[in-house]
Structure 1
């Protein structure tokens, strides 16, 4: 049975250039934070986007949903928790929570990505190596 409990936690410090004049993180930057969470989740499984692309697989985002609860501010340390939502098929789905250094929930979010064969540009099933990794305890 695949392990859905695999999650990662990524810590980042909010940079000045990610904020507006009030020192609040610009809303569009949260997508990049989620991407960092996904990248770290994949690395924790032993893969990277670069490695997957070198092996003929792309993972474009096809859905993004963000629920903003409260703002992050310049120089705060934020914590991005990334968790696999369900077993990957032709798509892989993640749930996220972003907390600040005071453990306040800032954002809850969801993304869906699809597996695309780089040669044919068509949807493909999740690679076997990912399924095998998720079956490990």
Structure 2
């Protein structure tokens, strides 16, 4: 799968001119949304089916700073169980293999009432077809 591409804007940076640490989680969200869209579904489709995917865990490892106007590429892969989906992210500048950041998010499947539930088979099948893309 093609990586998610994002150009860093001024609002993404801090006083030192580098991407603010928490902004990477927003980059991950954008990449994850587009990765799911590439499956032929959207978060809205999943939610309309009664499944919510709140973040249970998030982590970022900062290796090199990204700066204003950098074009970033974010690669996404996933693994899952019946109740959790783990997305892993690798961030680098477009045209470079140098990794700027690594991260992951773990999402749990809950019903609309907020209780843990199993992911529906159709969602697992979509994820299995894409997992390491």
TM-score, structure 1 normalization:
0.87
Secondary structure of the residue aligned to 1:12 is: strand
Matched, 1:65 2:59: yes
99-108 vs 28-37, greater mean Cα deviation: 99-108
User: Does structure 2 retain, via aligned residues, the 8 Å contact 1:8–1:83?
Assistant: no
TM-score, structure 2 normalization:
0.89
- Count residues in correspondence: 129
2 CA distance for matches of 1:136 and 1:41?
12
Q: Which residue of structure 2 lines up, in the alignment, with residue 76 of structure 1?
A: 70
Secondary structure of the residue aligned to 1:59 is: coil
1:15-94 equivalence runs, <5 A? 15-84=9-78, 86-94=79-87
User: Does structure 2 retain, via aligned residues, the 8 Å contact 1:24–1:73?
Assistant: yes
When the two chains are superposed, the root-mean-square deviation of aligned CA atoms in Å is 1.6
User: Does structure 2 retain, via aligned residues, the 8 Å contact 1:97–1:109?
Assistant: yes
* Shift >3 Å, 4+ stretches: 134-137
